[in-house]
């Protein structure tokens, strides 16, 4: 199933007639903001490699960046703790349910996670080869890439770089005659900044303006970054905010469900929280923290202090989160500290696991040390197997919910179908599960389409097109506006979403977008809430509910159909969801003298 914000990414990428990529620094740098080329390239990949459209191909970018994250994480851990501890920690990270969920979700989090790990890896490399220009150039690429994406990752990256320079200066200050080294570090760092700015300007000259406005670059207006600016006079106040965020963070780290987390990792799709660590991984992280604190005075070569660096990364990725705002709403309050932000803490927490495994690997007290190593390896294998089992079990459980017999229902009565029986004190009620019901309707109708076309495949005439009519009013949960996504209000997003779900069932459809006859974008400012600053895109005409409560296109604009080819595989099937689309497509095919069949679902 598409996630809440992932569905916005899908519509923004596959909903318009074409998708010109934008390489601007994201103005709001948040989850809902659009225009991230690293995600929207999915549509170009599908066409370039002649791939079918389904969840697997749509999510190729997120899979790629998730895999890159694992490689970078392994490289960082291996450099500090050796290959075997790195393998063990990387395996547990790969099996982590939150990491797995974000690796399978096309939002900017997975991309920014990989970019941030690239920054960490380059800073780590500079500790042992500060004179290497190639390493500094690598840092320039990493900083440029992280600048294009998620706001919190920008803040973390800038903090890490600043702390790195301060720590190097502090260590050099104690050594006589180190001025030459410090000047070299300063000069090479300057080169890195220039190269990073050049790369950003090469992508789009306006990026320079964004970076020069440094305060708004780090803390964009209306973004979801960690600042205290959202505390208003009528809000809960600083103390309540801090206590709430600490409670959320403690629950998440120790694997508790408690007041703020769901027991189901799939519910991350609709912005529910899920714990950072599974409860049987927590002991490894705690023991790793003990080992790290006991080893703080140990040093490596040159500027390296692995144990201290690990704690710095953990602090940078976690302490700013405690300033996430808490706001009042109709149901009480809403804490904005979400898994989107806490996701980055997965990396230092699993580095603590690597630290413990390193200590275990070097525990040499006779036979006890040998047995300890074997027991540690066995525990990692058992824990990893348990994580994989949990993933498979949750997939099966959630799938049974999606294809339940209640999929046709709509409104508040559907809440009971999606309850997770957890408190979720700030994220509960119908508004938070409406997304599930809406997309369950797409999934079930897509299955109906696949079954119908399979029974009629023998009767299809070669060379002719098939018009597949699916009444848009089947999607009763969110006819005009998806709850939580008012950015796409009045657009016919149903046909676009249904195309993806049909692709998952093995049916490649070509949806229809109704556009202005003169091809001028209809109401281009409707998507302005996304802070998208790239080239204006041509979306569907506006829809409305008529006097009978049926969805139809507004009649104040002369519109014509455009058949979208969203798949890289040739398909004869055209999806229409309204009578206006059907009439337009019939006329279009007749004008081109193309024969067609008609199938109603």
Residue 404: inside a domain, yes or no?
no
From 399, 424, 457, give the residue that closes a domain.
399
pLDDT at position 331: 63
Q: In this structure, are residues 285 and 352 in contact, taking their beta carbons and an 8 Å threshold?
A: yes
Residue 408: inside a domain, yes or no?
no
pLDDT at position 516: 83
Residue 390: inside a domain, yes or no?
yes
Q: Is the domain of 66 the same as that of 52? A: no
Sign of CA dihedral 348, 354, 358, 363: positive
More confident residue, 131 or 301: 131
Q: What gap in Å lies between CA 208 and CA 178, rounded to an integer?
A: 34
Q: In this structure, are residues 288 and 311 in contact, taking their beta carbons and an 8 Å threshold?
A: no
Q: Is the domain of 16 the same as that of 148? A: no
Count of structural domains, the chain: 2
Q: What gap in Å lies between CA 56 and CA 93, rounded to an integer?
A: 21
Averaged pLDDT for residues 9-37: 86
Averaged pLDDT for residues 217-230: 62
Residue 90: inside a domain, yes or no?
yes
Q: Is the domain of 206 the same as that of 253? A: yes
Q: Is the domain of 527 the same as that of 392? A: no
Residue 304: inside a domain, yes or no?
yes
> In degrees rounded to 5, what are phi and psi of residue 543?
-115, 170
Averaged pLDDT for residues 504-518: 90
Three-state DSSP state, 505:
coil
Q: H or E stretch including 598?
A: strand 596-600
Rg of the chain in Å (alpha carbons): 26
Q: Is the domain of 52 the same as that of 69? A: no
Averaged pLDDT for residues 486-506: 91
> Which DSSP category does 534 fall into?
S
pLDDT beyond 50 at 233: no
Three-state SS for 42-78 is: HHHHHHHCCCCCCHHHHCHHHHHHHHHHHHHHHHHHH
Strands 551-553, 559-563: pairing is unpaired
Token duo for residue 152: 């919190």
Q: Where are the alpha helices (DSSP H) in 301-429?
A: 306-318, 339-342, 346-361, 366-402, 415-418
pTM of the model: 0.92
pLDDT at position 105: 95
Residue 242: inside a domain, yes or no?
yes
Token duo for residue 112: 């920014």
Averaged pLDDT for residues 570-581: 87
Q: What gap in Å lies between CA 407 and CA 115, rounded to an integer?
A: 39
pLDDT beyond 60 at 206: yes
Averaged pLDDT for residues 10-35: 86
pLDDT beyond 80 at 519: no
Three-state SS for 256-304 is: CCCCCCCCCHHHHHHCCCCCCCCCCCHHHHHHHHHHHHHCCCCCCCCCC
pLDDT beyond 60 at 232: no
Q: What is the pLDDT of residues 258-270, one digit of tens each?
A: 889 999 999 999 9
Token duo for residue 557: 């604009």
Averaged pLDDT for residues 382-406: 94
- Nearest residue to 53 via CA among 587, 566, 541, 562: 566
pLDDT at position 411: 87
From 399, 422, 452, give the residue that closes a domain.
399
Q: What gap in Å lies between CA 184 and CA 432, rounded to an integer?
A: 54
Give the lowest-confidence range in 43-57, 232-246, 312-326: 232-246
Q: H or E stretch including 475?
A: none
Averaged pLDDT for residues 369-378: 79
- Nearest residue to 269 via CA among 92, 422, 425, 394: 394
Give the lowest-confidence range in 404-418, 483-497, 531-545, 578-592: 531-545
Q: What gap in Å lies between CA 600 and CA 451, rounded to an integer?
A: 12
Distance of alpha carbon 423 from its chain centroid, rounded?
A: 25
Tell me the residue range of the domain where 125 lies.
59-399
Three-state DSSP state, 509:
coil
Q: In this structure, are residues 542 and 427 in contact, taking their beta carbons and an 8 Å threshold?
A: no
What number of CA atoms fall less than 13 Å from residue 520's CA on the CB side?
A: 5
Q: Is the domain of 190 the same as that of 94? A: yes
Q: Is the domain of 14 the same as that of 158? A: no
> In degrees rounded to 5, what are phi and psi of residue 210?
-60, -45
Q: In this structure, are residues 302 and 128 in contact, taking their beta carbons and an 8 Å threshold?
A: yes
Q: What gap in Å lies between CA 259 and CA 285, rounded to an integer?
A: 23
Provide the strand spans (E) within 427-530. 465-469, 510-516
What number of CA atoms fall less than 13 Å from residue 350's CA on the CB side?
A: 32
From 364, 399, 434, give the residue that closes a domain.
399
Three-state DSSP state, 121:
helix
For residue 108, give Cα distances in angstroms to 42, 340, 435, 572. 13, 9, 19, 34
Token duo for residue 409: 């229902």
Residue 301: inside a domain, yes or no?
yes
pLDDT at position 365: 67
pLDDT at position 139: 96
Q: Is the domain of 112 the same as that of 246? A: yes
Q: Is the domain of 389 the same as that of 501? A: no
Averaged pLDDT for residues 44-55: 94
Averaged pLDDT for residues 551-578: 86
The share of the chain scoring above pLDDT 90, in percent, equals: 49
Q: How confident is the model at residue 478 (pLDDT cuts 50, 70, 90)?
A: confident
pLDDT at position 526: 53
Q: Is the domain of 275 the same as that of 392? A: yes
Q: Is the domain of 441 the same as that of 331? A: no
Residue 150: inside a domain, yes or no?
yes
pLDDT at position 228: 47
Mean per-residue pLDDT over the chain, rounded: 87
Q: H or E stretch including 477?
A: none
Q: How confident is the model at residue 229 (pLDDT cuts 50, 70, 90)?
A: very low
| Residues, the chain | 601
Q: Is the domain of 85 the same as that of 197? A: yes
Task: Tell me the angle at which helices 60-81 and 306-318 cross, rounded to the nearest 10 degrees.
Answer: 140
Token duo for residue 256: 């508790």
Q: What gap in Å lies between CA 168 and CA 412, rounded to an integer?
A: 58
pLDDT at position 488: 86
Neighbours of 408 (CB within 10 A): 15
Sign of CA dihedral 16, 451, 551, 563: positive
Q: How confident is the model at residue 548 (pLDDT cuts 50, 70, 90)?
A: confident
Q: What is the pLDDT of residues 161-194, one digit of tens each?
A: 999 998 888 877 777 767 778 888 899 999 999 9
């Amino acid at each position: 199933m598409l996630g809440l914000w992932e569905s916005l990414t899908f519509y923004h990428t596959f909903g318009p007639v074409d998708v010109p990529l934008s390489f601007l620094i994201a103005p709001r740098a948040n989850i809902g903001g659009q225009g991230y080329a690293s995600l929207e390239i999915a549509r170009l990949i599908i066409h370039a490699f002649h791939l079918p459209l389904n969840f697997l191909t749509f999510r190729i970018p997120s899979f790629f960046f998730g895999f890159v994250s694992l490689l970078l994480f392994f490289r960082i851990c291996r450099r500090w703790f050796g290959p075997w501890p790195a393998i063990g920690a990387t395996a547990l990270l790969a099996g982590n349910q939150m990491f797995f969920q974000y690796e399978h979700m096309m939002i900017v989090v997975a991309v920014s996670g990989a970019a941030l790990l690239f920054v960490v890896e380059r800073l780590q490399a500079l500790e042992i080869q500060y004179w290497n220009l190639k390493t500094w150039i690598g840092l320039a690429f990493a900083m440029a890439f992280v600048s294009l994406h998620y706001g919190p990752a920008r803040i973390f990256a800038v903090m890490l770089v600043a702390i790195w320079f301060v720590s190097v200066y502090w260590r050099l200050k104690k050594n006589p005659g180190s001025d030459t080294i410090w000047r070299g570090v300063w000069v090479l760092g300057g080169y890195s900044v220039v190269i990073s700015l050049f790369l950003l300007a090469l992508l789009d000259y306006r990026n320079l303006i964004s970076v020069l406005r440094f305060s708004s670059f780090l803390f964009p207006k209306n973004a979801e970054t960690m600042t205290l600016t959202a505390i208003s006079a009528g809000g809960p106040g600083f103390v309540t905010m801090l206590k709430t965020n600490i409670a959320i963070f403690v629950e998440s780290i120790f694997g508790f469900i408690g007041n703020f987390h769901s027991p189901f990792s799939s519910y991350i799709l609709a912005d529910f929280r899920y714990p950072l660590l599974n409860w049987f991984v927590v002991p490894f992280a705690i023991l790793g923290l003990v080992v790290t604190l006991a080893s703080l005075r140990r040093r490596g070569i040159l500027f390296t202090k692995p144990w201290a660096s690990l704690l710095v990364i953990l602090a940078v990725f976690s302490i700013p989160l405690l300033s996430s705002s808490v706001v009042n709403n109709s149901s009480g309050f809403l804490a904005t500290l979400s898994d989107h932000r806490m996701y980055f803490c997965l990396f230092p927490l699993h580095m603590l696991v690597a630290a413990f495994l390193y200590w275990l690997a070097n525990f040499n007290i006779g036979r006890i040390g040998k047995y300890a190593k074997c027991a540690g390896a066995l525990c990692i294998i058992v824990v990893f197997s348990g994580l994989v089992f949990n993933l498979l079990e949750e997939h099966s459980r959630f799938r049974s919910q999606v294809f339940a017999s209640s999929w046709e229902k709509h409104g508040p009565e559907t809440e009971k179908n999606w309850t997770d029986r957890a408190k979720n004190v700030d994220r509960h009620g119908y508004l938070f599960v409406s997304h599930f019901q809406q997309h369950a309707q797409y999934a079930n109708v897509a299955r109906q389409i696949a079954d119908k076309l399979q029974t009629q495949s023998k009767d299809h005439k070669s060379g002719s097109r098939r018009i597949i009519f699916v009444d848009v009013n089947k999607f009763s949960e969110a006819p005009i506006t998806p709850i939580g996504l008012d950015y796409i209000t009045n657009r016919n997003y149903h046909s676009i979403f249904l195309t993806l779900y049909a692709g998952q069932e093995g049916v490649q459809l070509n949806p229809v977008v109704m556009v202005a006859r003169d091809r001028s974008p209809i109401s281009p400012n409707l998507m302005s809430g996304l802070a998208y600053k790239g080239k204006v895109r041509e979306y569907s005409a506006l829809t409305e509910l008529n006097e009978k409560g049926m969805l139809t296109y507004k009649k104040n604009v002369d519109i014509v159909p455009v058949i979208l080819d969203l798949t890289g595989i040739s398909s004869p099937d055209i999806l229409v969801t309204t009578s206006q689309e059907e009439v337009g497509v019939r006329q279009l095919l007749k004008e081109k003298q193309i024969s067609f069949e008609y199938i109603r679902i």
